[in-house]
Structure 1
């Protein structure tokens, strides 16, 4: 039976959504769950749910990492935190994946520097995001872990994103693109030009540059950029959705005719909202560390936590980490014979 560790101190409203989402996942996906965090708080919350027939354990982790805690402060002195304890279970082979909706920087620091470490051959791990574009999920990376990059790193991001898209999202083969200011070869800065030259020689299904306007057109399943551009894209994309939603709400409330039209459109609008809801995806992988780590939004509800656990389940079933290990081991062996 698959065992997935869930950080019970992840969401902004912890531990309520974290525990509720874990129960939903255990029921729907038939996975074993290990909830890590302060045992008494978790037990109190878990008692609110019917867990008959489910295998849900609690592992005490009394220390708490706040959203405001700096990533540089968590590698030492937080060994009894839910993130440390949970990832250590994955490292020791006692669990298959770790899921957190907590502090992203802290999760990356602990995974990279304290517990799981990088897969041999990986230069830099990459933070990712998954978006369901017309119900066709795409993975974008890096979204903030590496603001200053080298072409070789971007190539590795492309390779890792491609492997995840193939193993966990079932694309065969996934199309990989680099984000630039134009589609034509050579568009962009020197770093992108060097990256493109390397990707054209790689074995992945590289389809060239795409412009920002094409991110939402299903022209690629994996889109690669540096962490600075990725973080700007992520925040712009999510804030645009909020702006559009608020603007639509304001317009609907301006007159009785608009309110009537809004009432007639409510089913369609609710459907659109559900398709844009980040809780439908839940979380995305931290690629490049030697274990499955899924990181989601702190604002997630129980459905979001459940969805993040499902992302972890898909990565386990797809053998994502094993494929990444094999890929970089083979590249290392090839380089060694040259």
Structure 2
């Protein structure tokens, strides 16, 4: 990653507002001193906010946007207003080559739609996919995709997702040959739909790629650390992700209730506090923040809308790592290997 690399940030996106976004980018600035930033949004408000962060102010350019995408805006509405919104202009900064990647905590559907229209898909990719890192019991996190960009997929889409997910795992997790599995209702070869079984057959014949296809995985094994990349359609992936997040919150709330139930429990909490703090940090979505739209002619990172400053900084870190490791080139190389094999 060169000192000239710039990250465009939709400063108006996210539930926390402008100050949380700027706090997060300022934190990222301390972590990645070689990066520069393009802050897109209401220029007077951004300049006022930057007065609290002189270090970021020295490394940031501001691009004014008259409007912003609301959380309840439909993608079609957002596309029509793309040229006047902070989200649309941030994406355009990538398209024009003024930024190496863009980060937004705004409306996911709008971000996906605008990015796809503006940047288009890479050659060899039919549909982009949304990928994220999930915590696991293994030595590294687990990449999962698609998480909602495509509710219906065919076998070709799933194979392409596997290729992109493996390339992302090699970048984000520093793995030479990621272990890849398809999410299914069982691990036996005959389980699942025709589409899933067809995709599995194609991946078993993909020894020329930098991945190891391990077969099927069920939902209860996603966090065990047994694989590196989980591939599924966006409908199943979004449900699995929301279920995992809900379960994490349930466990955390259950522990709080148990520790408050009696004096003995409160004493037990004090004794076990280091372990519970470790559990909380491991399950905190801010520590795994930054989903990636894979398969576009440009790098786009989606932050949780409710992320705090640390979460925003982590999302910027995801973008910085993708730029540094040239993720788009890795995906293009792997797709080229598929086409060469087919020829």
Give the paired residue count. Answer: 335
DSSP 3-state at the match of 1:139: strand
Q: Distance in 2 between matches of 1:52 and 1:240?
A: 37
Structure 1 residue 170: deviation in Å? 0.9
Does the CA-based 8 Å contact 1:148-1:228 persist in structure 2?
A: yes
Q: Distance in 1 between matches of 2:144 and 2:123?
A: 23
DSSP 3-state at the match of 1:146: coil
User: Paired residue for 1:71?
Assistant: 75
Q: Do residues 25 (structure 1) and 28 (structure 2) align? A: yes
Unaligned 5+ runs, structure 1? none
Q: Do residues 192 (structure 1) and 215 (structure 2) align? A: no
TM-score between the two structures when normalised by the length of structure 1: 0.95
Structure 1 residue 186: deviation in Å? 2.2
User: Paired residue for 2:145?
Assistant: 141
Structure 1 residue 333: deviation in Å? 5.8
Unaligned 5+ runs, structure 2? none
Does the CA-based 8 Å contact 2:36-2:59 persist in structure 1?
A: yes
Query: In the TM superposition, what whole-angstrom CA distance separates every residue of 1:223-267 from its partner, at most 9, and x where no partner exists?
Result: 001111101101111111111111111111111111111122222
User: Paired residue for 1:85?
Assistant: 89
Q: Distance in 2 between matches of 1:232 and 1:49?
A: 39
Q: Distance in 2 between matches of 1:52 and 1:302?
A: 14
Q: Distance in 1 between matches of 2:98 and 2:297?
A: 14
**In the alignment, which of 151, 154, 157 is matched to residue 158 of structure 2?**
154
Structure 1 residue 334: deviation in Å? 5.7
Q: Distance in 2 between matches of 1:318 and 1:84?
A: 25
DSSP 3-state at the match of 1:79: helix
1:100-115 pair list within 5 angstroms: 100-113=104-117, 115=118
Quote the RMSD (CA, aligned, Å): 1.6
Structure 1 residue 54: deviation in Å? 4.1
Q: Distance in 2 between matches of 1:222 and 1:169?
A: 10
Structure 1 residue 290: deviation in Å? 0.8
Stretch moving more, 57-66 or 297-306:
57-66
TM-score between the two structures when normalised by the length of structure 2: 0.94
DSSP 3-state at the match of 2:182: strand
Q: Distance in 2 between matches of 1:333 and 1:72?
A: 37
Q: Do residues 13 (structure 1) and 16 (structure 2) align? A: yes
Query: In the TM superposition, what whole-angstrom CA distance separates every residue of 1:129-180 from its partner, at most 9, and x where no partner exists?
Result: 2113135111100111111110110000001000111123211111100111
Q: Distance in 1 between matches of 2:102 and 2:91?
A: 6
Does the CA-based 8 Å contact 1:71-1:109 persist in structure 2?
A: yes
Q: Distance in 1 between matches of 2:177 and 2:56?
A: 41
